[in-house]
Amino acid sequence: MSARKPAEIAVDDLSEAEAKRELARLAKEILKHDRLYYQRSAPEVSDAAYDALRTRNSAIERRFPKLVREDSPSHRVGAPAATGFAKVRHRRPMLSLDNAFDDDGLRDFLGRIRRFLGLPEDERVPLMGEPKIDGLSASLRYEGGVLVQGATRGDGEVGEDVTANLKVVKDVPHALKGRSIPEFVEVRGEVYMTRADFEALNREREAHGEAPFVNPRNAASGGLRQLDPALTEKRRLRFFAYAWGETSEPIEGRYRDFLKRLEAYGFHVNPLARPCEDVDDAIALYRRIEAERETLPYEIDGVVYKVDRIDWHERLGFVGRAPRWAIAYKFAAEQATTRLKAITIQVGRTGALTPVAELEPVHVGGVTVSRATLHNEDEIARKDIRVGDTVIVQRAGDVIPQVVGVVIEKRPKHAEPFAFPERCPECGSHAVREEGEAARRCTGGLVCPAQAMERLRHFTSRDAFDIEGLGEKRIELFYKDGLIRKPADIFTLEARNGRDFPNLTEREGWDELSASNLFVAIRARRKVPLDRLIYALGIPHVGQVTAKQLARRYERFDRWRRAMREARIDESEARQDLESISGIGSILAQAIVDFFDEPHNVEALDALAELIEVEDVRAVASASPVSGKTVVFTGSLEKMTRAEAKARAEALGAKVASSVSKKTDYVIAGADAGSKLTEATKLGVSVLSEAEWLKLIEP
Ligand code: IVH
């Protein structure tokens, strides 16, 4: 039976080992999305999908508390501050909120509070409810009533100093109003953009040929991070205050009174904030705000409830990243149905094939949607999505709309299951799926236009061909203008200059000297060590270390090329040989084989090889008595682990194989050696004990 994929197992059914793997995966995944969201303001998944990841992470951690990782996302809010601004350490961390997704989630929230405080049944938990503004939070520090510093949340501990930018946000007072001003106070709240300003901004951007923003939140986030405050000002950002950080005098009493105080200071406080006496009241407020949502001048994505007794805040404290005294009851993602006209395939810069739903345009979540992601091949099969289907599209105040399912009753008679292409739509190369990977990838790395620029950048980079004067920018320009489309083109550039395209010196920013410098730099790299060449090819998973190992093992380019072509046959000796190299497992071997299985790549490689001189790599340590010998370890060793033994043998130039053949020079047999020992005896291969082996290699 194949191993179950932890990602697909319900939390309650996970074994401990699966939970551990799943927590590792979620930590990585959530960090990636945090970075995209907080540092690049370019999220790739919907809020709902992101929340689902976090919720799953927390649920697993609750079930297996001892598996909680050091780098668990629940210890962290957001992502580390991006560069460009000075860092600010928040004197009190800026926290996030736990989410509820239905009425029961809200009831559970109140239940937890009651239990935690040990409240009697009849004691009420007063709440304040207010819209959850879809913007980004900021902290404003006032000393002697004067704004001295403004910062973004960053990772909750350290944010960015964006004081100058916050000063041009209209609703941010430069000085607090009123008489009883504390010595210092930090006021926190949400920076946002109104729908009207967002639309005007996008119209203007489009008129200037700039890409429009996807939503007001991204526009606000980008606006606050402008290096020039004049540009921030143009975004007409706004601010609602709703929390505090460090204060010289304790904040006491009721949250509703704190909001009044903020207003007296001169802040805007959301006018829809209301007290709720019990859970029914809170639910009624949720429904009212939800009904009003579309008519509000700004985007909101839920209702935040906070315990209306600040003394209880202290007692309730925090769990992980969120206070126990507050919760965000999120709105459900908006859905609509529409017809799926076609499924197209996009090829990413790394060759991943992503299916995209081409839809009959439909209005959902405040925007018109005509395309939605279908994620990957399995997702289409799992949801059985077919061209012609009526599908349910979802968008949750977010970026990429999703197809959540199919309205089966409306399926046209002849709709066929979708056959995922096995060839790359961009270049026609084979598209393959690796074990354990969701994405199918184009293997035409060297020739695929979707990947070409990325590959060429890698090819010329420092650790690869290291061509001075051919950095990312130039590669991009040369690629776009058709001067360099594949690696071989780099080495024919000089010959083609002024013949197949106008002389480089006629290009902007170029002169005789810079052109001749470039050609000198290229010529200098015509001679390249085998390992650099292997690394430069950009075969998936083949980093510098693997490239070096391959180069050492095969020594010469032609030998390597031939062996890799032969290794395409499963079970072939060449394949076994490849897999026997330490650190090269079957997945890596498969990636190399896939590369060589694609004729386009071999063509491109051969064209390149014609133009360059590949330097042989001599196997190391030829003086060692085991250099060049093939050895096989079997049984359990006493003095070292198998991995260590293997690494040491390889460092001395031996080749460590996993099975015994006529070519084996030595079999090193530890205790309880089994069939390999029998085989060795049968074939007449020398058998050494561990001690004999050590004597041989230790001078
Ligand atoms: S209170 C310690 N109130 O939602 C509690 N947050 O998902 C601090 N947000 O980080 C947050 N509207 O950026 C609070 N009325 C509101 C809010 C609000 C939007 C944001 C805030 C927070 C995030 C959590």
Most confident of 102-111, 446-455, 619-628, 682-691: 102-111
Report the pLDDT value the prediction gives residue 424, as an integer from 0 to 100.
93
Q: What is the CATH number of the domain that holds 226?
A: 3.30.470.30
Ligand 1, residue 134: give the atom nearest the CA. Answer: 19
pLDDT per residue as tens digits for the range 228-287: 899 999 999 999 999 999 999 999 999 999 999 999 999 999 999 999 999 999 999 999
CA-95 nearest atom, ligand 1? 2
Q: Can 132 be counted among the known catalytic residues?
A: yes
In a domain, 595, yes or no: yes
Q: Tell me the CA–centroid distance for residue 240 and ligand 1, in Å.
A: 10
Q: Which DSSP symbol is given to 381?
A: H
Residue 690, domain CATH: 3.40.50.10190
Return the residue whose CA atom lies nearest to atom 17 of ligand 1: 132
Of 70, 37, 65, nearest to 51 (Cα)?
Answer: 37
Residue type, 538: G
**Does residue 651 share a domain with residue 538?**
no
CB neighbours of residue 232 within 10 Å: 24
Distance from the alpha carbon of residue 227 to the mean position of ligand 1, in angstroms: 25
Provide the token pair at 324. Answer: 């126990």
Residue 285, in any domain of the structure:
yes
Q: Ligand 1, residue 132: give the atom nearest the CA.
A: 12
CA nearest to 134, candidates 214, 202, 217: 217
Q: Write down which residue in 589, 615, 641 finishes a domain.
A: 615
In a domain, 356, yes or no: no
Cβ-based neighbour number of residue 212 at 10 Å: 13
Average model confidence (pLDDT) for the chain? Answer: 89
Convert 284-317 into a string of H (helix), E (strand) and C (coil): HHHHHHHHHHHHCCCCEEEEEEEECCHHHHHHHC
Q: Compute the distance between CA of residue 486 and CA of residue 475 in angstroms, rounded to an integer.
A: 11
Tokens for 606, please give them: 């051969």
Residues 417 and 156: their CA atoms lie apart, in Å, by 46
Strand partners, 247: 185
Q: Is residue 589 part of a domain?
A: yes
Paired strand residues for 298: none
Q: How far apart are CA 540 and CA 596, in angstroms?
A: 12
- Contact of 267 with 118, CB cutoff 8 Å: no
**By residue range, what is the domain housing residue 180?**
132-303
**Cα→Cα distances 51→5, 47, 79, Å:** 21, 6, 15
Measure the CA–CA gap between 198 and 234, rounded to whole angstroms: 11
Give me the pLDDT at residue 214, please. 74
- Listed residues 303, 336, 368: the one ending a domain: 303
Q: Which of 20, 32, 87, 132 is catalytic?
A: 132
Q: Which residues contact 377 (CB under 8 A, 6 or more apart)?
A: 355, 420, 433, 438, 440
| Ligand 1 atom 23, closest CA | 96
Residues 543 and 683 in one domain: no
Banded pLDDT at 175 (limits 50, 70, 90): very high
621: confidence class by pLDDT, cuts 50, 70, 90: very low
Same domain, 562 and 660: no
What's the token pair of residue 31? 């960090």
Q: State the pLDDT confidence band at 118, using cuts at 50, 70 and 90.
A: very high
Does residue 6 lie within any of the structural domains? Answer: no
- 592 and 651 assigned to the same domain: no
| Residue 83 pLDDT | 57
Cα distance between residue 430 and residue 452, in whole Å:
16
How much distance in Å is there from the Cα of 397 to the middle of ligand 1?
A: 15
pTM for the whole structure: 0.53
Name residues whose C-beta falls within 8 Å of residue 78's C-beta, 6 or more positions apart in sequence.
Answer: 34, 37, 38, 96, 153, 154, 155, 156
Residue nearest to atom 18 of ligand 1 (CA): 132
Confidence of residue 77 (pLDDT cuts 50, 70, 90): low
Q: Which of 133, 187, 256 to mutate to test the pocket of ligand 1 (most atoms within 8 A of CB)?
A: 133
- Which stretch of 199-203, 417-421, 541-545 has the lowest confidence by average pLDDT? 541-545
Residue 262, number of CB atoms within 10 A of its CB: 21
Q: Which of 37, 242, 246, 259 to mutate to test the pocket of ligand 1 (most atoms within 8 A of CB)?
A: 242
How confident is the model at residue 269, as a pLDDT? 98
Domain boundary residue, one of 584, 615, 646: 615
Task: Give 553-604 pLDDT, tens digit per residue.
Answer: 899 999 999 999 999 998 888 998 898 887 777 888 988 999 999 888 899 9
Give yes or no: residues 608 and 644 share one domain.
no
Give the DSSP H or E segment for 484. none
Mean pLDDT of 444-450: 82
Q: Are residues 602 and 566 in the same domain?
A: yes
Q: What's the CA gap between 82 and 151, in Å, rounded? A: 12
For the ranges 75-79, 349-353, 432-436, the lowest mean pLDDT is seen at 75-79
Give the whole-number percent of the chain exceeding pLDDT 70.
96
Smallest CA separation from ligand 1 atom 9, residue: 132
| Ligand 1 atom at minimal distance to the Cα of residue 328 | 7
**228 and 167 share a domain?**
yes
Joined together, the tokens standing for residue 632 give 């096989």
CA of 684 to the centre of ligand 1 (A): 74
- Calpha distance 653→597 (Å, rounded): 29
pLDDT digits (tens, 9 = 90+) for 29-62: 988 888 777 666 677 777 777 878 888 888 888 8
Q: Ligand 1 center to residue 304 CA distance, Å?
A: 7
* Per-residue confidence (pLDDT) for residue 2, from 0 to 100: 42
Cα–Cα distance for residue pair 155/143, rounded to 1 Å: 24
What is the pLDDT averaged over residues 175-182?
A: 92
**Which one-letter amino acid corresponds to residue 76?**
R
Dist. CA 188 → ligand 1 center (Å): 9
Angstrom distances, CA of residue 358 to CA of 22, 215, 425, 557? 33, 21, 16, 46
Pair 136, 278 in one domain: yes
Residue 150 belongs to some domain of the structure: yes
Enumerate residues lining ligand 1, CB below 6 A.
95-97, 130, 132-133, 137, 190, 242-243, 304, 323, 326, 328
- CATH number, residue 566: 1.10.150.20
Q: What's the per-residue H, E or C state across 560-575?
A: HHHHHHHCCCCCCHHH
Q: List the one residue out of 128, 246, 273 whose CA is nearest residue 187.
A: 246
Q: Side chain identity at 274, as an amino acid letter?
A: R
Q: Could you tell me which residue, 371 or 5, shows the higher pLDDT?
A: 371
pLDDT tens-digit map of 372-421: 888 889 989 999 999 999 999 987 655 578 899 999 999 999 999 999 99
Mutate to test the pocket of ligand 1, among 54, 90, 304 (most ligand atoms within 8 A of CB): 304
For strands 127-133 and 300-307, give the pairing: antiparallel
Does residue 678 sit within a domain? yes
Please give the pLDDT value at position 68: 84
The two three-digit tokens of residue 200, written as one number: 């005007």
Question: From the centroid of its chain, how far is CA 149?
Answer: 32
**Protein residue with its CA nearest to atom 21 in ligand 1:** 137
CA–CA distance, 343 with 361 (Å, rounded to integer): 14
From the list 571, 621, 547, 562, the residue with the least C-alpha distance to 596 is 562
> What are the tens digits of pLDDT across the range 453-481?
888 989 998 889 999 889 888 998 999 89
DSSP state of 489: H
Strands 630-634 and 666-669, by their bridges, are: parallel
Distance, CA of 691 to CA of 638 (rounded, Å): 9
DSSP 527-583: EEEHHHHHHHT--TT--HHHHHHHHHHH-SHHHHHHHHHHTTSTT-HHHHHHHHSTT
Pocket test for ligand 1, best of 92, 127, 132 (most atoms within 8 A of CB): 132
Residues 220, 169: contact at Cβ < 8 Å? no
For residues 251 and 176, membership in a common domain is answered with: yes
Q: Please indicate, yes or no, if residue 147 is contained in any of the structural domains.
A: yes
CA angle 191/192/194 to nearest 5° reads: 150
Same domain, residue pair 583 and 640: no
Judge if 167 and 263 occupy the same domain: yes
**How far does residue 137's CA lie from ligand 1's centre (Å)?**
7
Do 207 and 159 belong to one domain?
yes
Alpha carbon separation from 572 to 93, 209, 586, 588 (Å, rounded): 59, 56, 13, 16
* Structural domain total, the chain: 3
pLDDT for 147 beyond 90: yes
Backbone phi, then psi, for 306, in 5-degree steps? -130, 140
